[in-house]
Chain A
Amino acid sequence: MNQTQNHPRTSAPLLGMSKAHFARRKITNIVMLSLTGAATVLAIIPLLWITLYVTIQGSRFLNIEFFTQLPTPVGVPGGGIVNAIVGTGLVVGVACVIAIPVAIIGAFFAADYPNTPLGLAIRFGTDVLSGIPSIVMGIFAYTIIVLPQRRFSAFAAGVALAIIMLPLVLRTTEEMLKLVPRGLREGSLALGASNWKTSVQVLLPAALNGVVTGIMLAIARAAGEAAPMLFTAFGSTGLVTDLNESTATLPHTIYIYAMSPFKDWQEKAWAAALVLIALVLGLNILARALTWWRARQMGLNY
């Protein structure tokens, strides 16, 4: 209050700032702002469009039965895709159990010893791995698990998805660990904590928000993969809980139903696609909510 009274605004033009100059700057500002705004809108359009379209197409055939019933043969009304939902959960669960511990422990090493040969190898390896098409992971799991065992299995599918998740979780975790202030690490070590204790009790909790977000996004990515499923989970019409059996999964079911010539299967493909999108969206929202909640808990402002 007082300050503005003591320093009244002068209307004198600033040095070298002509009216034309000022107008031009204002226009440039408006143009650039419109451009960035337009680009942002363009970037959101595909998401909104796909979500809206699938919701409209899929919701017509969505009901409770769809989540609780097994599929019916072509032409028989009703039925659901409970086998694919359970199958996806099973396969992704296996992938998480395999990938997350390896990824997080590997990330600790890469973050703690970035310039050692092994640290460099981890970083380079995961970067290459994340660029390999998912169908290759499918063929790989097919070759090392399905062929020797002579059967398609949920386990093989889990392994394929684990390889897809591994680089995603490892790199996000590593980046998050690197963001933890060095002082926290030193503070812990100065108290006589070992590297391992420091990692688990200080660094991981401090980086947990990012790590959880990374895991959720990797799960969302893995849950949507159809290509590796063709070689591994293969598909099934029954409800499967045995890891050694072939099982239906959501993306694979969508693929089979959408490609079929039967109208009721195509309709079910839309509904299944809606379920898959809702699952992925739900995981993303959950990741955000967890992050926000934990930040509040810790009294952190980020």
Chain B
Amino acid sequence: MLETTQSERLGIFTRALSGNTPQETSADTKTKMRVQNLDFYYGNFRAIAGVTMDIPEKSITAIIGSSGCGKSTLLRTFNRMGDLVGHTRVRGSVTLDGENIYDRNVDVVLVRRRIGMVFQRPNPFPKSIFDNVAYGPRLLGVGGKALEQIVEQSLRDAALWDEVKDKLHQSGLALSGGQQQRLCVARTIAVKPEVILMDEPCSALDPIATYKIEELMIQLRNEYTIVIVTHNMQQAARVSGLTAFMNMNPDRAGVLVEFGPTTQIFTNPAKKETEDYITGRFG
């Protein structure tokens, strides 16, 4: 009896997975980022404990797990956004192409140029649409015709160009929530980062806007390494190649329970905790 219910529940994901066209993750896929024994502390509180995972290049890796288990915190260690909050400490390493981004002589600004981020709430600057996208390239000294081309290409890549091409000089804040989020994606890819981190990018969006962002991610994964934190398990099933499931230890530290190909995590999880979570049964 229980078996049937469970397989029925898993059916949702089978349908979601059928929409997913998983990339071939062959053995020779290059590892883009490698997380090793990562601990993250806010003051004395350990928010992340001993996370180890390899993120392959040009693919989408999803991080799922219940609220407060440290998904966002983990994601924010990947481009050192966690540094911004005072009294934080990191142990272990996060490497990008073999280079530890927490190394003493690493310039955090350069790390963030290579690892971009899209946030939970769309956060366009209170500037025009053009200036929003041009912001990053301008930091690198790009101007004139080249800048215009980058802005147009980035907006096209973010599937926003047709909607905004006639009002590039209007405020980015005048756009709808979904458009704002795509503007933030355009802004991020305008600096051609190697990795794009997405922190629940659809949680503030309606289903249609969510669909558009997912389409966008699937297009972008051919060129970028994407790591997405999501509450929406079907979203993870739809877009990602690999899925990481996180949970909270009794001491409230976030740990990585299971990490593997998305199809396996959703259809044949190795750990009971994972199965309980994705079938909607906790504890």
Contacts and interface: CB of A to CB of B under 8 A. Distances in A.
Given A183-B121, A189-B112, A299 B171 contact: yes
B173 interface: yes
Contacts, number: 75
Given A115-B86, A300-B173, A187 B113 contact: no
A197 interface: yes
Interface in A156-203: 181, 183-194, 197, 201-202
A193 B191 CA distance: 11
Contact of B109 (A193, A297, A299): A193
Contact of A183 (B86, B123, B136): B123
B81 interface: yes
A184 B123 contact: yes
Interface string A78-99: 0000000000000000000000
A189 B95 CA distance: 20
Given A183-B121, A192-B191, A299-B173, A201 B135 contact: yes
B170 interface: yes
Contact of B119 (A183, A205, A298): A183
B119 A186 contact: yes
Nearest to B139: A193
A206 interface: yes
A197 B171 contact: no
Nearest to B114: A192
A190 B116 contact: yes
Given A191-B191, A202-B125, A298 B173 contact: yes
A192 B139 contact: yes
B79 interface: yes
Contacts of A191: 112-113, 116, 135-136, 139, 187-188, 191
Given A183-B119, A205-B126, A190 B110 contact: no
A190 B79 CA distance: 8
- Range of interface residues on B (Cβ < 8 Å): 20 to 34
B121 to A, nearest CB: 6
A71 to B, nearest CB: 49
Given A189-B84, A190-B81, A299 B112 contact: no
A190 B200 CA distance: 16
Instruction: Decide if the interface of chain A is mainly helix, strand, loop or mixed.
Output: helix
Contacts of B116: 190-192
Contacts of B114: 192
A170 to B, nearest CB: 22
A200 to B, nearest CB: 11
A6 B123 CA distance: 41
A191 to B, nearest CB: 4
Interface string B112-149: 11101101010111110000000110010000000000
Interface in B134-168: 135-136, 139
A192 B123 contact: no
Contacts of B123: 181, 183-184, 186-187
Contacts of B135: 188, 191, 193, 201-202
Contacts of B127: 205, 298
A190 B173 contact: no
Q: Which of A186, A187, A188, A300 counts the most B-chain CB atoms under 10 A from its CB?
A: A187
Contacts of B188: 190-191
Nearest to A206: B126
A191 B126 CA distance: 16
A296 to B, nearest CB: 10
Contacts of A206: 125-126
Interface string B63-93: 0000000000000000101001010000000
Contacts of B136: 191-193
Given A183-B119, A201-B135, A298-B171, A192 B84 contact: no
Nearest to B140: A192
A187 B125 contact: yes
A162 B168 CA distance: 42
14 contacts: A183-B123, A184-B125, A187-B187, A188-B125, A188-B135, A191-B116, A193-B136, A197-B139, A201-B135, A205-B126, A205-B127, A298-B126, A299-B174, A300-B126
Interface of B: 79, 81, 84, 86, 109-110, 112-114, 116-117, 119, 121, 123-127, 135-136, 139, 170-171, 173-174, 184, 187-188, 191
Interface of A: 115, 181, 183-194, 197, 201-202, 205-206, 297-300
